[in-house]
Amino acid sequence: MSTMTVTSDKAKGMTKDERFVIFASSLGTVFEWYDFYLYGSLAGIIGAQFFSEYPPATRDIFALLAFAAGFLVRPFGAIVFGRVGDIVGRKYTFLVTILIMGLSTFIVGLLPNAATIGIAAPIILIILRLLQGLALGGEYGGAATYVAEHSPHGKRGYYTSFIQTTATLGLFLSLLVILFTRTALGEPAFAAWGWRIPFLLSVVLLGVSVVIRLKLNESPVFQKMKDEGKGSKAPLTEAFANWSNAKIVILALIGGVMGQGVVWYTGQFYALFFLQSILKVDGYTANLLIAWSLLFGTGFFIVFGALSDKIGRKPIILAGCLIAALTFFPIFKMITSNANPALEKAIESVKVEVVADPKGCGDLFNPVGTRVFSAPCDTARAYLSQSSVKYSTAYGAAGSGVKVVVNGKDIAYTDAKTSNPAVLAAVQAAGYPKAGDAQIVKMSNPIDIFRPQVAAIIGLLFVLVLFVTMVYGPIAAMLVELFPTKIRYTSMSLPYHIGNGWFGGLLPATSFAIVASTGDIYAGLWYPIIFASITAVVGFFFLPETKDVDITK
């Protein structure tokens, strides 16, 4: 393939070279997201395999935190590989990142569990997650920059929107492979060893992606700059020590990517977690529901990317943040109403209180999962929250014991961190659903989508995905256009990965911790609502519009 020249002819159709650039960049990025999301989709099973020495609730949080570890290091990957990409070039940098990601994922599939090698298993697992996060921190900026620098002026939103589909396509592919393997093997075999198959299959995708990317040439914009000797010798200094550029990095984060990140992770990851862990929908059904919503919604990344070429990046991204912030509560309540109607009714009609001496009641906020609760007041509230029971705390007399009051009836609380038959029987008698309740949505097969209950949930999840496409479709073009060529890879990668890796990646664990600490299954939504609202306000007043910027300079 010959190196392209950038043209400003808006009427020109996409050339063969341009299609190959988009295909090669997108294919590799789909593969990297597939690798990254396998862990998130299988967090419950992986928790049981690698954190088996802990009780189930702590195990789940440790599994989520190991998932989040990959997000935490993404900004550091952005700094390391962004610098290399601005000095050496875009092509070779994202060849390195894809190799690191692919090999790390393959090794997870081979890694013995905690029952076999003890504490070494979770340690190695977390190291592999950190390597994945570092690689992904360098991959996205390289792919987005590479495609944008091949794009004609006036079509960057459209061209880069194909890269934006890759995160969702990677998640969709991971869900499909998991569902197929789960169905073929059955749940017991899949939980025991079959979960490794999707990780091992990644080595095939790695080989295909590397071969295709080796056929790419360097970005013409970067190559021209390098040939003219105008490249940066110190991209980190120029990007972050120079206030004129550093302030744009900060604005890009707070006024754009922060809100985009929380809307994205709420619409895809927290929605899946909410279905499984809070609404008690079985994993097979929850994954299918998310997969269908992604199938219906993914094309809108391209719709909004192309639209941003006409009306601008800023209005679409900020509108997505604002609409999401205003509608998350009603949408998630409607999801509850359809997915687990008995739970919705119980939340509204059953009054549950934990009555105890206030000195024995602490703060349950525990996003990192390291706190161990021992006071009966705390274990009682933690037990109720893990059972998706809405409760309030009432303070009893000094020195009094702990009791759970269900609709005015006192239930003696037996201090037990994992089960309490008397309390469970009381809340279920009052109306809370039992495990496997017939009213909880359940799909019998992948195409069981025409029943009203299932169709309604997919429709609501589709709306959440639509918000994701609004905020995410134009974001790559906007970030590329904010920064000059010689420090573009470095400058755009850092705010992107802080916004998505930290604000977005930490969302599931933090939101669940908020739910557990308040006793309100919807309270975790305040996390994305607050940050999306901040982005809508800051972006409106301070973020510049970029669609007409010349990125060849």
pLDDT tens digit string along 327-378?
999 999 999 999 999 999 999 999 999 998 888 888 887 776 667 777 888 8
83 close to 490: Cβ distance less than 8 angstroms: yes
pLDDT value at position 7? Answer: 41
Tokens representing 156 are 């960057």
pLDDT value at position 8? Answer: 41
Highest mean pLDDT range out of 14-23, 214-223, 444-453, 523-532? 523-532
pLDDT value at position 457? Answer: 97
* Residue 440 pLDDT level (bands cut at 50, 70, 90): very high
Tens of pLDDT, residues 19-43: 888 888 887 778 767 876 787 678 7
pLDDT averaged over every residue in the chain? 86
pLDDT value at position 362? Answer: 83
Pick from 461, 86, 40, 412: nearest CA to 237: 86
Residues 6+ apart with CB under 8 A from 116: none
* pLDDT over 70 (residue 505): yes
pLDDT value at position 268? Answer: 84
The whole model's pTM is what? 0.86
pLDDT value at position 335? Answer: 97
* Residue 2 pLDDT level (bands cut at 50, 70, 90): very low
Residue 411 forms beta bridges with which residues?
404
* Residue 4 pLDDT level (bands cut at 50, 70, 90): very low
Tell me the average pLDDT across 433-456: 91
Half-sphere exposure of 182 (CA within 13 A, CB side): 19
* Residue 13 pLDDT level (bands cut at 50, 70, 90): low
* pLDDT over 90 (residue 77): no
* Residue 64 pLDDT level (bands cut at 50, 70, 90): low
* pLDDT over 90 (residue 98): no
90 close to 222: Cβ distance less than 8 angstroms: yes
Residues 6+ apart with CB under 8 A from 32: 97, 98, 101, 102, 135, 136, 139, 170
* Residue 319 pLDDT level (bands cut at 50, 70, 90): very high
pLDDT value at position 224? Answer: 80
When comparing pLDDT for 92 and 265, which is higher?
265
Looking at 63-72, 142-151, 241-250, 256-265, which range is the least confident one?
63-72
Pick from 42, 70, 35, 51: nearest CA to 200: 35
Residues 6+ apart with CB under 8 A from 39: 46, 66, 67, 70, 108, 129, 132
Tens of pLDDT, residues 469-490: 999 999 999 999 999 888 888 8
Which domains can be identified in the chain, with CATH numbers?
Answer: 16-340+443-542 (1.20.1250.20), 345-430 (3.40.30)
When comparing pLDDT for 458 and 42, which is higher?
458
Tens of pLDDT, residues 155-180: 999 999 998 888 788 878 888 888 88
Share of the chain above pLDDT 90, in %: 39
Tell me the average pLDDT across 308-312: 96
pLDDT value at position 370? Answer: 61
pLDDT value at position 56? Answer: 63
505 close to 74: Cβ distance less than 8 angstroms: yes
Question: In angstroms, rounded to a whole number, what is the distance separating the alpha carbons of residues 131 and 118?
Answer: 21
